[in-house]
Amino acid sequence: MPVSLLVLALSAFAIGTTEFVIMGLLPDVAADLGVSIPGAGWLVTGYALGVAIGAPFMALATANLARKRALLILMGFFIAGNLLCALAADYGLLMFARVVTALCHGAFFGIGSVVAASLVPANRRAQAVALMFTGLTLANVLGVPLGTALGQHAGWRTTFWAVTVIGVLALIGLWRVLPGNQPQEKADLRREFAALRGAQFWLALSTTVLFSASMFALFTYIAPLLGEVTGVSPSGVTWTLLLIGLGLTFGNYIGGRLADWRLRTTMLSVFAAIAVSSAVFAWTSQSLIAAEITLFLWATAAFAAVPALQINVVSLGGGAPNLVSTLNIGAFNAGNALGAWVGGLVIEHGLGLTRVPLAAALLAVLALFATLLTFGLGQRASALEPALD
């Protein structure tokens, strides 16, 4: 794998850390800026909406640029956003800074995925995308807990200063080692939007939303589940999150290899595994050892889907790879919000924490059916081609 992929992974690590570390710092941010915890929680929502809404616009805005230059500009937005977060004196400025940072997120991962896939032979594209997304998984394993600890010890702004430094290092790396001979075709809005036509593409995008919703329906409420149902201490929750992070990393690695082997089989198998492990956790959550084993398997299955979902959408929108890849990143974030809402709905209606994994399992089953429909439409289109000719 080229060194350029490692630099892309470092960039993904920085972006992933700044996205999720705010959750660990919410009490500190709320106390310092004089807002409530729910009010501070909107900083998470604002970021997710910034990614989902801003991603396609940023992809179109950089469509006429060479991919290397586009990634450098997007990383510049990331650095500026985190610098503003570190300097924010009030809640409004911090929210604005989070949205600025989010603007680069979707487009960077979208264009970065296309670049990563272009750096290797066709039979290793999913592995290359998986390596880039390893930075995102390592952000959950290392970046978030270390960033939270740093913010709690030295002030929450220190964490954003640290992420800014990592962003500068990533920018230098992108400038030095990323190939500069990857020009993009001149943007043609009609061609770009033509790539978005067809039920198969939108089903693939819906699959991404349902997958992410399934994952975050459970992941968002994993701490109260472990604390109130499993009986894990706060420090034990931290170690369990580390175990989940290792599962995510392992799943991302094997998911890339499996997707290069058989994309359809991989997606169907992974969604089935997510559904089963989520449902099983509804019962194993009451036993410590069984819960830990189930969560590791669930995390492995969950992130094994990410490279396959990204490659699947790009292959269906080949006429505008940057735009469709970026839209898929937005779909991941839309699913994050949907999953958190579904899990909260289950709890608010008094069904209990142990019913949250069952809701996650149902969403995974829906993702499986969406995958069957997506590939079913593709087979039907292939069968019609000779007759149309």
Superfamily of domain 188-382: MFS general substrate transporter like domains (1.20.1250.20)
355-389 pLDDT, tens per residue?
999 999 999 999 999 999 888 765 544 443 343 33
The pLDDT of 103-114, averaged and rounded, is: 83
The pLDDT of 51-55, averaged and rounded, is: 80
| Within this chain, domains 1-183 and 188-382 share the same CATH topology | yes
291-344 pLDDT, tens per residue?
999 999 999 999 888 888 877 777 776 566 667 767 777 788 888 778 878 888
Return the domain boundaries, the chain: 1-183, 188-382
Choose the most confident range, by mean pLDDT, from 15-24, 152-161, 179-188.
Answer: 152-161
Lowest mean pLDDT, pick from 32-46, 54-68, 374-388: 374-388
Superfamily of domain 1-183: MFS general substrate transporter like domains (1.20.1250.20)
pLDDT at 385: 38
SS (H, E, C) the chain: CCHHHHHHHHHHHHHHHHHHHHHHHHHHHHHHHCCCHHHHHHHHHHHHHHHHHHHHHHHHHCCCCCHHHHHHHHHHHHHHHHHHHHHCCCHHHHHHHHHHHHHHHHHHHHHHHHHHHHCCCHHHHHHHHHHHHHHHHHHHHHHHHHHHHHHHHHCHHHHHHHHHHHHHHHHHHHHHHCCCCCCCCCCCHHHHHHCCCCHHHHHHHHHHHHHHHHHHHHHCCHHHHHHHHHCCCHHHHHHHHHHHHHHHHHHHHHHHHHHHHCHHHHHHHHHHHHHHHHHHHHHHCCCHHHHHHHHHHHHHHHHHHHHHHHHHHHHHCCCCHHHHHHHHHHHHHHHHHHHHHHHHHHHHCCCCHHHHHHHHHHHHHHHHHHHHHHHHHHHHHHHHHHHHC
